[in-house]
Amino acid sequence: MRTHADCRMLLVMSGANAASSSPGPGGFEETLKDFWASRPRRPIHGRKVAGVAAGIGNRYGIDPVLVRVAFVTATIFGGAGVSLYLLSWLLFPGEYDEVSPIEALAGHHRSSMSKGFTIALIVLFFPLTSWAFAGGWFSGGGVIGLAMLVTALYLLHRSRGQFNRPVAPVVEKATGAAFSMSSSAPSAERSSSWDPLGAAPLGWDLPDPAPAPTPPPPRKPAPSRRRNSAVGLATFAVALVVAGVGAALGSSGVTWFSVQHIIGLALGVLGVGMVTGAFLNGGRGLIGWAIPLSIAGLVTTAVPISDYTGGYGNITAVPHTAAEVQRVYQHTAGDIDLDLTRLDATAPVTTDVRNGAGNTTVVVPANADVRYSCQVQAGNVDCLGNQSDGVGRAAVTGTDLGPDGVGGPQITLNIRQAAGSVEVRRD
C-alpha cells in the first residue's frame, strides 16, 4: 500500500517528465493546437497599437518591424492586413491577462480589455473584412494577402514554435481542506496519551499537504539576432534585375509589364527576402526599400496609369507646321514638353496629350486662340491661369483668346494625365 509520500513522489516525477518534453512539429492539426495553446501574448511595452506585431516578434524571436511591414503591405494590397490584425487583437491575450478578449466576452475568466471595446472591435471587423474580400480595397487581393500572412505565421510556428513559449498567469481558485475533530469524552481511566483539549487522538490526523506545483521549464533562448547582410544584398540585386527586365519589356511593347506590375514584382522579391531574413536573422535593411515601394504601389494602383501607354522617358517636340503636329502625344511615365510657338497661322491645330506620370508642359504662341481641356487624376493643373489641384478633380476647360482678342493660330488642346503636373502657358 502506497503512502502519501509515495504518491507525492510519483506526481513530481510525472510533472517533471511532462515539462521536459518539448512540443514537436507534429502534423497540421497538432501544429494548430500547439499554436493556440502557446499563441503570442500582446506585451505592455514595445507596442505601437495593440501589441500584436510585438507579441508575434517576441514569441518567435524575430524583429517586430518585419511583422509590422507585413501587416502594412497586406493592408495596402488587398486590405487583409487590417482584418487579420483586428482578429489577432481579439484572439491574443494581453501579457498579464488570463484569457483573450473574445474569451473574456464569452465569460471565461478575465481580460484587461473592456467588453464594450471588444464588441466595438468585432463590429468593425466584419465590414473591413467584407470590403477587402469584395475587391473594394484598391487591388482587391484580400484572399491572397490573407493566405500569405496565415501561411507565414504557420511556417514561423513550425520552425520557431519551441522558442519563448509564454507561461499563462495562474488562475487562482478558492480551495480549502476540511477536517473534523472528534468531541467524544475520554474514558474514566485516562491513559498517558490523553488529549488535554478533549479531542480524540485520531482527530489530529490532518491530510498531507498538496504537492508543490512544478516550476515551468526554462525557456530555450532564441538564436541571437545577428545581421546577415548577404540576404539583403542578394534580395536587393534580384529586385533590381526583376524591375529592370520588367521596365525593358514594358518599353518594348509588352503591355502586361505596367508600372503596377513592375512595382508588385519588386515588392514580391523584397517580401521573400524579408521572410527569408526573418529565419536567417538578416535582411532588415530591405524595409527601407519596401516602404517607399509600397507607397508608390498605392499611388499607381489608385491612379489609373495603366490607361496610358507609349513607353517611358521624356518627349520633346517642336513642330513648325500643322502637318508636323501629331494627333496624340502619349507616354506611360516621363516628361512631355510640347512647343507650339513655331507654328504658322495657316491651319487650325488639334492634338491630344496623354501622360501616365510626370510633368506635361505645352507652350502656345502669345496671340493664339486656345481651347483647352486639362485633367489630372492626382496632381496640379495650370492651364493659362485656370488652376486646379488635388485627387479626382474634374477637368479644367475654357477658351483663351490671348491679349489681342480673336485672331492668330487656332489651337485645341486635350490634356489628360494620371499623376503629376500639367502646365499650359504662352510664350
pLDDT tens string, the chain, 427 residues long: the values are: 444 444 444 433 444 343 333 444 567 778 888 888 888 999 988 888 888 888 888 888 888 888 888 887 777 766 677 888 888 888 999 888 888 888 888 777 888 888 888 888 887 777 776 666 654 444 445 666 677 778 888 888 888 888 888 776 655 544 444 333 333 444 444 444 455 555 555 555 556 666 666 766 665 555 444 445 677 788 888 888 888 888 778 767 776 777 777 887 887 787 777 777 766 666 667 777 777 777 666 666 655 555 566 667 788 999 988 889 999 998 877 899 999 998 877 788 999 999 888 899 999 998 899 999 999 888 899 999 899 888 778 899 999 988 888 888 899 999 998 888 999 999 8
Q: Which helix (H) or strand (E) holds 331?
A: strand 328-333
Query: How many residues are present in the chain?
Result: 427
Q: CA 205 to CA 207: how far, in whole Å?
A: 7
DSSP for 363-381 reads: EE-TT-EEEEEEEEEEEEE
Q: CA 39 to CA 127: how far, in whole Å?
A: 26
Do 381 and 421 contact (CB within 8 A), yes or no? yes
Report residue 424 as a C-alpha cell.
499650359
254-287 burial, b for 16+ CB within 10 Å, e for fewer? eeebbbbbbbbbbbebbbebbbbbbbebbbbbbb
Do 330 and 310 contact (CB within 8 A), yes or no? yes
Do 100 and 93 contact (CB within 8 A), yes or no? yes
Give the residue extent of every domain in the chain.
23-166+227-302, 315-426
Q: CA 150 to CA 161: how far, in whole Å?
A: 15
Best CA proximity match to 109, nearest among 176, 173, 60: 173
